Every structure is written in structure tokens, then in C-alpha cells.
Structure 1
Amino acid sequence: MKIFVRAMHANPSRDNKELVKLLDGLVFPGSLETNAKKMIKFSYNDLPRDYKTCLLYLSIFPKVEKISRSRVAQRWVVEGLVSKEDRHSSLRQAKRCFDQLADRWLVCPAKVSAEGKVKTCTVHDIVRDFITIRARKQHIMDPRLSQHLARHFSVLSNIRLRPSENIINFLMKPSRASSQLQLLKVLDLEGSRFSNYQQYLSNVCNMIALLKFLSLRNTDITRLPKEINKLQQLEVLDIRQTEYLHVSAIKLIVLLKLKHLLAGSVDASWTVSTVRMPHKITRMTALRVLSHVQATEHRAWELHKLGELWQLRKLGVVIDDSRAQLYYLLKGISDLNESLQSLSIEIKPASTYPTAPDTFLANEARRQKPPKFLESLSISGFTNYIWLLPLLTSSHDVLTKVTLQKTTLDQDDMEVLAKLKKLRSLRLRQILHIRDQRELLFKEKERDRTPNNKDKDEENNCFEALKYLVVEGGGIAKIGFQGRAAHNLEKIVWSSGFTEMESLSGLRNLPELKEIDFEGGSIPHQEILEAIPKTVHIKLPYCEGP
């Protein structure tokens, strides 16, 4: 029924003949599974041709697997299932396709962000049966490979492996498993854990010259073989969550067609550890996504070289809390002011307790050109680096998402954030110290009542566009809303960590508020719950016992 209702929502002006045909095909009384498949077919037939192919592609993943939006979108693009004028447009189209499948409930959301974006999904058994039959008929799914093997490779790759074999059998002797290795575009080893990774990868690099997508995410790999540079057609290299990977693992790579280099592991405290930046990064001018890499301790000037990657759209860096590294990073970002759309800066603490930035650094930073089209910004540092925010945004009309982590916060900082006219999502993680009795206060702007100024409400609203507020990891005990500040807020996620929740006030000033999610182990006081309007959905953390 969800699939049917969402199909109607996607196309409400459909011809009446389609509905009559569907009704005639249903059996009453009849098999629930039979009618369900007819509903699925009804929605499936609505999809554009390339979206149908992308849905059928999901049949190669095992039943229990949670399929990542970003991962499968990358695979669709390199497999040629989504084709636009350039790869950037193709990837946007692939992500739109995933969102459309989720909107129509042809895939089931598994992990959903605070903003409501589906990050991972699963495929319902009945939908899986439906797409598996069609995938085999249309020769999208290789009938000779079992699902636990098919997910590793390109579709129709002519890989010959028995169901009793595993991915190691292929990596040991790739030529034995296939006589057409030049056709292989995807090798996805995510989650595969075994020893001798470096030797196995050497075999792959020597045999599969046209590989475009290589994922080593969440594996036990410690180093990359020197033969990695033979993969000169490689477009995506994913080495995230490789906790044993040496910090210098990618310093010698030179892959001229690489577009996405994804690295870094995040621990339970949201701290990023990652590999050092390649020494010849400036030669890889095709890069669009570089996230996350670490600046070399004594080569701070390399951060300025990032400005030569003129196609870079998304950048994530880890730097030391030092004047030189921050200065050269800001110079590099200045050179990317026409292209950069997403920026994440993780500032590691100094050996001594850090102090506020000195006057020299602040003045030099102001001389740089901020990115014109920056939409997402994340700053993590053990001191107050929110002063960077206005320097990194040339226009208050572009930035839509801000994450601040491991920093101090006061009411002056809130006024800086309030100036961002398009800010839709604000995430505050592990705020170390908040003044005014640990209260996060959204204040209405003071009105100018001079005779020459028209007193319009819309001119005095702070956080006008804010829809999602996420507070995680403690440091904030009170949240309050005054007047019409943040009056379009729709969802609050509050995970207090070890900080006791004391108050949540002013909710009556939020007419659009639909949901409050109290994550983590802390259950709010009864007084807080009683202050929440009855129209707001409350989600409490799961706790065992009474």
C-alpha cells in the first residue's frame, strides 16, 4: 500500500486507464504476494528507463546488506547506468535516482539523517524477488555468480567463481577467474577482512588496467602496493574506515583520472584520523572530492597547493592547531573560491592548551577570498574557531548546513550564525563550554524603531530558514527560543551525553515544529516533556527496564 500511495503521489494526474488496468489485474480474494507484485510492477513501470536499470542493479546485493546511497550512486555512474554530459551531473542524477526509489518505497530506508535524507536502504524480499527475475531476463545480473560474490564486481563481468569460493580466490589469481579482466570496472571489497591484502592488490593492479572504482572501505589493509599507480583509469578510491592503514599509504599515488579520493576513520568521539596528503596532489587535477586528508607536519605549504585543484567541489582536511597550517589552508581555499561547495576542517589540539588565534593570523585570513558557493561547512577544534565562519562565506545567502564540534560557544557566536539567511541545518557536537549557564538561546533580533525604518517582522527574524537543529555530546543543558527566532524549525535532535537536560523552552513559538528526538541514554525530566506541545511527535531513547 505504501508503494501504491507513493506511486500516486509521484504522478497524481495519471490516465484513468492505468488504474482500471491495475484493478482488473488484482485478485480478490487472492494471494497477498501476487497482488503485492502487481503493485510493485505498477510503480516500476512509472520509472524512467535508467531508473529501472538502477533498481534492477540492486539485486546483486545480499538480502541483509544495507546499501549506501553514495556508494551505489558511484557504482551506477562508473557502470554507465546513469549518463549525463559530465561525471558531476551523472552523480547528481544517480543520487536523485536513489532518492526517487526511496520516495516510492521501492527500497526501504535504513538510516535517515536528521534532515530526512535516506543514507542507507534495504530491499524488501518481495521487491527483491521482483527485480531479481527481471535483472536476469535483461542480463543485468550474472547468473553464474552467487549474490555474496556478485556484489564485488561489475555487472556482466564474466567472472567465473563457484558458489563455494570467496573473494580471496579471485584476488589470488584474477586471470583464472576471468579471461576478460579488461572489462572489469568495479572492484568493491568493502567489509572484506583478511590478511595479505597488499599482495592481493598487487595482483589486481597488474591485471585490471581499466578499473574505475576500487573500494577498500572497512578492510584490514595496512599499505597500498606501489602498483596502484597502474590503475590510470581509476575514478573512485575509497579507503575510509581502514584503521590499520599507515599514514603515508597514499603519499606516492599519482592517478590522473581520479575524481573521488575518500579517506579517514571516525571514532566514537567523532575524531577523524586519516592518511597524509599525496606529495604530487597537484597533478591529479580531475579531483572533485578530497575527503579527508591530513597535512604533513613540516610541509604546511602543501595546503596552499590545494588551490590548484580547480575542479574540487568537496574538501575535508585534518590540520594541526598551528598558525602556518591554518594560514596556508585559507590561502588554498581562497584559490578555490569559484568551485568549492563543501568544506570540513578538523583542527587537532596543540601539545599545550590552545589559545585564541593571534591578530596576525586573523588579519591575514581576512585578506583571502572566501568561497562564493559554499553550501556546507564543518569546523572542529578545541578552541573557538567560529571566527572562521564569516571568513569562509562570501555571501550569507548560500550556506545551508553548518556543523560546529569541540568548540566553545556564546551569544555573540549565535549572532554570527543568525546572519546566515539560508541556514537550514545546524549541528552542534561536543560543545566544550557554553556561557550563560550552558544555555543555547535563539534570540529574536532587536527591532530598529527609528522613524525612517519600517518595522517588518521578516527583517527581524533570526535563523529564518532553519529547519533542523541537532545537539549532540553534551555541554548544553538548556535550549530556548524567543519570539519569532527559528520559527520555521521542524525538527530538534538532542543527545545530551553526560550533561543533564534542564530545560527546553519557547516551543510555543515554533509553529512548524513536528518532531523532537531525544537520542542517547538520557531521558528528559517530566517537566520538559510536559512543556512540549501535543502536536509534536516525541521520540525517546530506548531503555531496558521500567
Structure 2
Amino acid sequence: MIDQLSAPAHQGGASDDQQLPPAPTPAPASAPAAAAHEEGGASDDQQLEDKENQQVKKELQKCVKDRRFLVVVENGDHPSPWIEMKEILDSSGCSPGSAIMVTTKDGGLAKEFSPNRTKTHSFVEFCLERAKRLVSVECHRETGAIYSIQRVLQQCDPDLFCMKLLLGTLHANPYTGKKQLDDLCTSLESPSPGQSQSDPDGSKRRLRVRMKMMKFCYDKLPEMDKSCLLYLSIFAPNSNIRRASLVRRWVAEGHVTQGDGREALDRAEICFEDLLAQGFVDITKTGNLGNVISCKVQNIIYDFITKAVKDENFGDAGLPAKLASHISISSDIQWNQVSDKQKQQQKQGRCNCFSSATLGPQAGAPDQITSFLEWLPVFSRVTARVKVMDLNFCKQLENRHLKIICSNLLKLKYLSMVSTEISVLPRKINMLDELETLDIRQTKVPSSATEGLFLPMLKHLLAGPVGYQVSASPEEELSTVWMPRDIGSMTNMETLRHVQVLEGGDEFKHIENLKHLKNLGVVIYGTQDNVNHLLRVVTLSEHLRRLSVWASKGSIDLKMDLGLSEEGPKLLESISINGITTGLPEWIQKLPHLAEIILRKTSLADNSIRILGQLVQLRCLTLRHDSYTENNLPFIANEFMNIQFLVIEGASNIKRIKFFSGTAPKLEKIVWTFTSMDISQDTITGLSNLPSLKELEVNGEFDPYHVEQAVALHPNCPVFSSN
């Protein structure tokens, strides 16, 4: 149990009942030092230390004078720091409302610090209350079950990591019974042989408890979740793992299959959410809507799953560790065949690309990956089973390597080459009949390369840039590939982003066949007819959730209005519009789930902002280059009632932002990015009218003084950052 003390510091000018309590009697531990001083005087070192301490005290008093502050003394195990701190602050003249908080695991010591103002908080009690809300009614009725949970928590205390694991498991398994909890508690209580002699600081016990808690929680996972968790062993601990890529790889490797009336990818998303909720993975980046973009596996989890991988013979232990994150580790693959071929080639005097001398300390770097690819034809029986090739950021990847892949990995389901030097899609790519994901973003593949692409099982085709560059010129066009002419026959397609549609727009007629389409991004060239074809596709797409429309330069006066009898896609959650300058489409006001809008080169006026303000579900608004024509951007009362995130990037027309009382009550974060600007006290006003504001980020060349002053006056004390 961890106890916490919260006690107000001395408040200048306050009445006696607001003062800090009398200082406790110094501990006897200080007596020897005092006696030494009386007998022989302080040594030179002691005098120097005392002088330095006095200087620190003076500096501290200067810092806190006439200011309100919170001082936190963590893990206090002796009253001496409290005594010294009180003496300093009593004479500092600090402002009313200042406080000192001491955290300690010793309840008696907490009482000594501040007898009348001690607040004790127990992690065990806090987590137990959470657990009571998670478990089933049957668990509550079972005699002693709640007490068993408390016993387990007491064994975990004060390790919050273990407590969170338990809560996550109870959330996923609310019917966990008393016997299982008692067995767990007995396991946690039983000491290891010789523990007391070899573990004076308790570190070995803490590690043992962690490993047993992870084993208990792991055993509770469904088999599919276990497989997905063990798959994470291919990534280095604490490295960023992109969620979208991960769940697609799970599906491609066969760790997740369709069932329960759900598609495989939907079930993979559920597996990810399960692992996240139970504490096996941690979030590293979220999107504007709070969705998880990437995650990581912390060291202790990584150590556990790598051990489990060996114990359960998961994947292929023969695969070089540094290559595992790039190449399929399906359990079907017998990499000992690779070793056999390897030895044969060695006897013939051929280079062994998998030897320790070749791989070296930087094994897995692009040159080793490309060396492996060059050996693929040798391993024909093995490569027939490879399902995944993730070659992102392999700068030494060449067109010839892609030809080798297309000629040999005929069962491939996942192929990603983001940010590589690939400039050709060979005709043989159409031999990959089972390919489900093709990611060629930020490559040199020409626009026409995909015209003849036909992959009957393809579900995700991603092309064009990765993300949005704020520094990009407003005149810069989105360069991407053409829509395949046989797109209508790829009926499994779920993600098609971004592809060009040339004048005539015949491809749109075929997109109507894509009944599973969820994410569509198109670059339109030509006339209003192309837009009309697009809108027809949008209205017929029952599952569409994300839509990005980029009208190319020269496409003038295009409109995105629907006919009177047509309705927009009801499940649409996010829409991005670029280059449509005739106003917002009226049908977006009727979308019940629209949560995000991204605008660029739309030339909107104030009346359009008023329309956006009435969108009930809108949680994120992004205004980019030339999206808004006026200098003043006002947010008035009773508008944007659910918006949480406001982003303004490169919208050079906007000079002033004002938030009126009663607007955006849930707005938590504002990001404003520009090249340079003269910031005055009128540039951004009304921040105090945003009751939920937590963070303000301003990027560009500017004087932050006035913004800092506005932030300082906000009651939430939001975090302010600038670059």
C-alpha cells in the first residue's frame, strides 16, 4: 500500500488556521552530527556543504516568493526533508494556495508530517473498487471471491503494472472464480528457494510476481489473442508498431481468421483492442479522433513473450532475429531447409548470406534483407509458404528484388514497400493471386504502373504520400497512381487510397462493384461528370467510413451536391476535401456519424464555419492551406459542442482566432501551425471560455509572450508548447 500526504504550505498573510502545522521533532539520526559539531566544530567539508545548502535555500526562496506552487517530496522515508522545506517556505512569502505533498509508504510517518492534514490513498483499495465493477454478479455472490481479489492485489502492491494486468483480465473474464484467484494468490505468496537470503531488496520477488501475473493473464487469453501476442516477439521492445500494418499482418499470417459473423480483419481489430485493454501493449501515438495509430511492447512483456515463443515452439526459431520483422514467421515454414541449402552452397564455395560474419551486429539492415531476397530462388520449397514481406524503408531495395519476389513468393498475402526506391511494378506482380495488401506509398512507381494491375484477392491498395506535409507548397499536387482498369473485378477491396481518376471517369462505374469498400481516396482530373460518378459511388457504398477527395489543379467550379432523392453514406466518419471551392456539400449535415473533417483549398467563408459548428458528432476539424478566406476565425456560442481537437495548418489567411463564451465546451487541444506571424494580445482570445482545454501547440516564427500570458490565465493551466 502507498500512502500519500497532502498538506498546504505556509500562506503569506493568511490566518493562523491556514498555516502549516508545527514542525515535528527532528529524528534522533541527526544527534550524532550535532554532537560532533559541539565537540570539535564542523570540518572544512561540512562548512562547504552548509554554505552550499544556504545558497540553495536562498535561491529557492527567491523562486517561490509571491508565487503559488506545489512542491512534491516523493517516497519520503524521514521527516528531515519536510522540516527543512517548511523552514524555507515559512519565510519565503509564497502566495496563498501553495502546497506541499509528501508521498510515503509509511502511514505513521505520514501522520508525523502533518497529523491533521494527512490523506491516505491505497492502490489496493482503489483497484479493488474498480475490480468490483468489472466482475460478474455471480462473482459477487460467490462467498469470499471479492476477498480473494483483494489478497491478489495485496500481493501485487505496490506494483501498478501487475494490478493493471489483473484488472484487464477481470474485464475480459468477469466470471473468473474464487478458486482460480486463490490458486493465483497461493502462487504469488510462495517464496522461491533461498529468496530471503538472496533477495535483500525484494527485486527478485517483484520480478517473480510479475512473471506469474503475466502467466495467469496470458493463460486467460483466447487462443487467437495468444497467437497475436506472441507474434509481437518479432519487433524490438519499445519500438513503434503501426496498428494498421500489424492487424493486416496477423490476418496474412493466418493468426486471425474470419468467424462469429465477422471478417478476419474485424476480428484482428478486436484482438488488438483486447491486448491493449489487458495491458500487454502500450499506446505510443493516437489520431485526432483518439484512435490508436501505433503501439509498443515494453521490456518486461517482451521478455515474457519471447520465453513463451520458445516454450510453445511458436513460429520458426531458425529465422534470423533481425529479419523476423520483415519476413513471414508462419509456423509452417521450416527454416532448417534454408540451413541445408546454405551448407550445400558453402561446399560449392558460394557466400552464406545467413552466416554470423555476413549478418554482423547490424543484422537485418537493408543490405542483409536484399541479400536474402537474392537467395530466394534457392529456397523454392520454403518460399512457397511465405505470406508476409514488409520491406518498408529498405533504401537498397531495387526493382530486380521485386521481380524475384513476384516470381517466387506466389502465396504472398502482404507486400509493403513504403519509402523505397522501387520505380517499376513488374508484370509478374499479377502472379500473386493471394495478395491482400499492396502498399507502395512514397515510392517512385509511375502513375501508369497500376493501370494493368489485377489481383483478385486484393483488399488494401495504398499509394501516394505518407501523411500530410505542412511545409508543402499550396500549389503542390498529390502525385499517385492510376486506378486499375480492372478494379471492378477486385471485389474484396476495402481500402483504395489514393488513386487517380482521369477524364472520362469510366473507372467509377466499376467501383460500384466494391461492396466492402471502407476507405476511399481519389484524385479527380476533369469535369463535373467525374464528381457525379464519384458521388454515385459514395451513395452506394454501404460500408464507407473514410473519404478523401482531391480535385486537381485546373478542375474549376466542381460541386459535390447530391440529387434531392439521394443521401450521403450513413456510416461515413471522416471526410477530406481538397480543391472544391464551391462550398461545403449540403449532405454532410445529414451524416449521423461524421466525426472528422479535413479541408484544403476550399476557400470557405464564415457562413460555412457556421454550418460546421452545427455538426453534432464533429470531434476534429482541420483547416489547411487556403481552406478559409477570412482573417478572423470566430467560434460563437452553442456551436462545435462536441469538438475535441482543432488543427490549423498553413492557413495563412487566418490572423485571429476568438472563442466566445458557450462555444466548444469539450475542446481539449488546439494546434496552430504557420510560417511566421506577428502575435498580439488579440491574435488568440477567449481561451478562458474553453473549460476542457488541456493543450495548446503553436508552431512557427513568432513571439510567444502574449500566448503564454493567455494560457497562464486559464484555470486548467493547459500545457503550452511551441516549435
TM score, norm. by length of structure 1: 0.84
Aligned CA distance change for structure 1 residues 148 and 81 (closer, same or farther; 3 Å): same
**Cα deviation, residue 312, structure 1:** 1.2
Q: How does 1:414-493 map to 2 (within 5 A)?
A: 414-431=609-626, 433-435=628-630, 438-444=631-637, 461-475=638-652, 476-493=654-671
1:344 aligns with 2:521: no
The partner residue of 1:83 within 257, 274, 282 is 257
**Cα deviation, residue 194, structure 1:** 2.2
Q: 1:285-305, CA deviations, whole angstroms, 9 ceiling, x for partnerless residues? A: 111110111112x44332343
* Alpha-carbon distance in 1 for matches of 2:578, 2:260: 33
Amino acid aligned to 1:278: P
The answer to whether the 8 A contact 1:247-1:274 is kept is yes
Aligned CA distance change for structure 1 residues 483 and 89 (closer, same or farther; 3 Å): farther
The answer to whether the 8 A contact 2:666-2:690 is kept is yes
* Alignment partner, residue 449 of structure 1: none
Please, which runs of 5 or more residues in structure 1 have no aligned partner? Answer: 445-460
SS at structure 1 position matched to 2:578: strand
Identity %: 32
* Alignment partner, residue 182 of structure 2: 17
* Alpha-carbon distance in 1 for matches of 2:186, 2:672: 48
Q: 1:157-192, CA deviations, whole angstroms, 9 ceiling, x for partnerless residues? A: 224262535222332232423523332221222222
* Alpha-carbon distance in 2 for matches of 1:527, 1:240: 41
* Alignment partner, residue 248 of structure 1: 448
1:294 aligns with 2:459: no
* Alignment partner, residue 392 of structure 2: 190
* Alignment partner, residue 455 of structure 1: none
Aligned CA distance change for structure 1 residues 9 and 488 (closer, same or farther; 3 Å): farther
The answer to whether the 8 A contact 1:186-1:212 is kept is yes
1:406 aligns with 2:601: yes
* Alignment partner, residue 279 of structure 1: 485
Amino acid aligned to 2:290: G
The answer to whether the 8 A contact 2:390-2:415 is kept is yes
Q: How does 1:204-283 map to 2 (within 5 A)?
A: 204-242=405-443, 244-266=444-466, 268-269=469-470, 272-283=478-489
The answer to whether the 8 A contact 1:112-1:119 is kept is yes
Q: Which has the higher helix share?
A: 2
* Alignment partner, residue 129 of structure 1: 303
* Alpha-carbon distance in 2 for matches of 1:18, 1:443: 59
SS at structure 1 position matched to 2:497: strand
The partner residue of 2:692 within 501, 512, 515 is 512
1:525 aligns with 2:704: yes
**Cα deviation, residue 356, structure 1:** 4.4
The partner residue of 2:293 within 110, 113, 119 is 119
SS at structure 2 position matched to 1:72: helix
The answer to whether the 8 A contact 1:235-1:259 is kept is yes
* Alpha-carbon distance in 1 for matches of 2:398, 2:707: 55
Count of paired positions: 510
The partner residue of 2:234 within 60, 69, 82 is 60
The partner residue of 1:312 within 517, 537, 559 is 517
Amino acid aligned to 1:232: D
**Cα deviation, residue 59, structure 1:** 0.8
* Alignment partner, residue 458 of structure 1: none
* Alpha-carbon distance in 1 for matches of 2:701, 2:278: 35
SS at structure 2 position matched to 1:3: helix
* Alpha-carbon distance in 2 for matches of 1:346, 1:86: 38
Amino acid aligned to 1:516: E
Aligned CA distance change for structure 1 residues 18 and 394 (closer, same or farther; 3 Å): farther
SS at structure 2 position matched to 1:140: coil
The answer to whether the 8 A contact 1:375-1:401 is kept is yes
- CA RMSD, 1 decimal: 3.0
Aligned CA distance change for structure 1 residues 303 and 491 (closer, same or farther; 3 Å): same
* Alignment partner, residue 454 of structure 1: none
1:4 aligns with 2:162: yes
* Alpha-carbon distance in 1 for matches of 2:411, 2:294: 28
* Alignment partner, residue 451 of structure 1: none
Aligned CA distance change for structure 1 residues 149 and 176 (closer, same or farther; 3 Å): same
Aligned CA distance change for structure 1 residues 260 and 42 (closer, same or farther; 3 Å): same
Amino acid aligned to 1:506: G
Aligned CA distance change for structure 1 residues 356 and 204 (closer, same or farther; 3 Å): closer
Which structure is higher in RCO with an 8 Å CA cutoff and minimum separation 6?
Answer: 1
Aligned CA distance change for structure 1 residues 472 and 214 (closer, same or farther; 3 Å): same
The answer to whether the 8 A contact 1:308-1:335 is kept is no
SS at structure 2 position matched to 1:317: strand
The answer to whether the 8 A contact 2:677-2:702 is kept is no
* Alpha-carbon distance in 2 for matches of 1:321, 1:478: 36
Q: How does 1:166-205 map to 2 (within 5 A)?
A: 166-177=368-379, 179-194=381-396, 196-197=398-399, 199-205=400-406
* Alpha-carbon distance in 2 for matches of 1:341, 1:247: 26
The answer to whether the 8 A contact 2:425-2:450 is kept is yes
SS at structure 2 position matched to 1:183: coil
Aligned CA distance change for structure 1 residues 211 and 492 (closer, same or farther; 3 Å): same
Structure showing greater radius of gyration is 2
* Alpha-carbon distance in 2 for matches of 1:331, 1:24: 65
Please, which runs of 5 or more residues in structure 2 have no aligned partner? Answer: 1-158, 192-198, 340-353, 360-367
**Cα deviation, residue 369, structure 1:** 4.3
* Alpha-carbon distance in 2 for matches of 1:497, 1:35: 53
TM score, norm. by length of structure 2: 0.64
The partner residue of 1:374 within 572, 584, 594 is 572
The answer to whether the 8 A contact 1:235-1:260 is kept is yes
